[in-house]
Amino acid sequence: MNPITPIINGMKITLKHMFMKPVTLQYPDERPKVAERFRGLHALKVSHSKAKCVACYLCPTVCPAKCITVEAGEDANHDKYATVYEIDMLRCIFCGYCVEACPVDALKMTGEFELANYSRQDFIYSKERLLEKQ
């Protein structure tokens, strides 16, 4: 095969690509549309203005990264609830097993993916920070 044709074909391809619409997303100005089932930051679902979580310990049990800390307590109606619910985002692998394991559908994963922070302590999300934004 002569050596010139492939070069010319290649040049044609690059020229054609120059007039295509760039795929670049100008990130801080333009936001990506994350998929509906994207596994981002966790959120504790809220029902009747309190968390649905019943502190059954299924999520820390199933968690492969062992990043969830739950402590159970009793509220005024003698219902079990989580006094402490913490997820260490530095350890979390965003597998979503906790969401699947939850028997009362109290946990979900949001499209939030900007989880950068300044100190290690800030990555341990407390119950207040995890509560679903209304």
Partner 1 sequence: MGIEILGLPLMYYIAMVAKVLVAFVFVLLTVAYATYAERKIIGHMQVRLGPMRTGWHGLLQPIADGVKLFFKEEIVPAQASKFAFLIAPLIALIPAFITFAVIPFGGVIEVAGYKVPLQIAAYYDTAAGQVYDVNVGVLYILAMSSLGVYGIVLAGWASNSKYSLMGGLRASAQMISYELAAGLCIIAVFMLSGTLSLTKIVELQSGMGGFDWYLFKQPLAAFMFFICSLAEINRTPFDLPEAETELVSGFCTEYSSMKYAMFFMAEYANMVTVSAITVTLFLGGWNGPFTAAMPLLGPVYFIAKVYFLIFVCMWIRATLPRYRYDQLMYLGWKVFIPLALVNIVVTGIIGYFL
> What is the Cα–Cα distance from 112 to 133, expressed in whole angstroms?
12
> What is the Cα–Cα distance from 59 to 98, expressed in whole angstroms?
5
Smallest distance from the beta carbon of 18 to partner 1, in angstroms?
5
Reference 123, options 110, 114, 132; nearest CA is 114
Of 1, 2, 5, 14, the residue at the interface with partner 1 (CB under 8 A) is 14
Using CB under 8 A as the binding rule, the residues of this chain from 25 to 84 that contact partner 1 are 26
> What is the Cα–Cα distance from 127 to 107, expressed in whole angstroms?
12
22 lines the binding site for partner 1 (CB under 8 A)? yes
2 lines the binding site for partner 1 (CB under 8 A)? no
93 lines the binding site for partner 1 (CB under 8 A)? no
Of 1, 2, 5, 17, the residue at the interface with partner 1 (CB under 8 A) is 17
Contact stretch for partner 1 (CB under 8 A) within 6-14, 60-68, 78-86, 104-112: 6-14
Where does residue 59 rank: exposed (0-12), middle (13-18), buried (19+ CB within 10 A)? buried
Query: Pseudo-torsion of CA 12, 14, 16, 22, nearest 10°?
Result: 180
Of 1, 18, 35, 76, the residue at the interface with partner 1 (CB under 8 A) is 18
Quote the Cα angle for 63-127-70, to 5°.
40
103 lines the binding site for partner 1 (CB under 8 A)? no
- Under the rule (CB under 8 A), what is the footprint of partner 1? 7, 10-11, 13-15, 17-18, 20-24, 26
